Amino acid sequence: MPGSVQSIERAAAVLRLLAVAPDGLGVVDLGNALGLAKATVHGIVRTLEQVGFVTQDHAGGRYHLSTALARLGDSYLDVNELRGRAINWADSLASRSGEVVRVGRLISGKVTVVHHVFRPDDSDQDLDVGTTLPAHACALGKAVLAYDTTGAARPRKLEAFTTRTIVDPAKLAEALAAVRSSGWAGEFEEHTIELAGIAAPIRGLGGLVVGSVGLTGRIERICDSRGRFRPDLVTMVRSTAEAIGRDVQAVP
């Protein structure tokens, strides 16, 4: 059997020490307690700070456990923070693709639209920010559901919106496996007749999927003459998701 990962063991030891130190501990204190060099300890606490598990008292330079450890079941990234990191990239995607672009976050089994860019033409459009979409019936949702390994975020009842909506749990599982394999999700008249969509997951620190970005439009614009998703649009969406992810991961 493979051995344990030393860096994780050390990080866990730091967290345990901080858990019983109400006044916090400095790098020297932690190093003395664990028999580690100051540089090693500093690297550990800085990483734990970046992922939100510890905070630093800048007046005294001591480290403390953060409140994030009490809510590990929640996403570490605030909805507004996700939107802020995605705005410029989503706007660019809409401009290049000529289609509606949305950024979504999975909340209580549904996708909440946190940012919406109108299709760049003169057509009459409604703002979707704050609205929810059925996760199983749209690309934006499947791009996130595919990485929910517990299955807890999947809706208990798969409601049908069109004749193409996936309502069989086994078929949904197959579709989500395909998303994990390809790195992107597609939607073909599953939520709205005559519309298709493409979306990709946005990954935060450690590779955790924190949301998704995607575009939606009429089938003849999103797909080719054979009904296949246009490769150029898939590439655009995936590169946009990766760019947003890099910005998300750069959050101090």
Quick: pLDDT tens for 140-167. Answer: 999 999 988 666 677 788 999 999 999 9
- pLDDT tens sequence across 190-248: 999 999 999 999 998 777 788 999 999 999 999 999 999 999 999 999 999 999 999 98
Provide the residue type at 165 as one letter: T
CATH classification code of 6-71: 1.10.10.10
Confidence bin at 78 (pLDDT 50/70/90): confident
CB atoms inside a 10 Å sphere around CB 234: 19
Sign of the C-alpha dihedral computed for residues 169, 166, 227 and 220 taken in this order: negative
d(CA 193, CA 106): 23
Contacts of 37 (CB under 8 A, 6+ apart): 31
Looking at residue 71, its pLDDT comes to 60
**Helices and strands in the chain, H and E counts:** 8, 8
Task: Report yes or no on whether pTM surpasses 0.75.
Answer: yes
Query: Do the domains spanning 6-71 and 79-249 agree at the CATH topology level?
Result: no
User: What fold is seen in the domain 79-249?
Assistant: Beta-Lactamase (3.30.450)
Tell me which residue of 202, 196, 238 sits closest to 220, measured CA to CA.
196
For residues 20-39, give the mean pLDDT: 88
pLDDT for 2 beyond 70: no
> Any idea where the domains of the chain sit in the sequence?
6-71, 79-249
Tokens found for residue 252: 């101090």
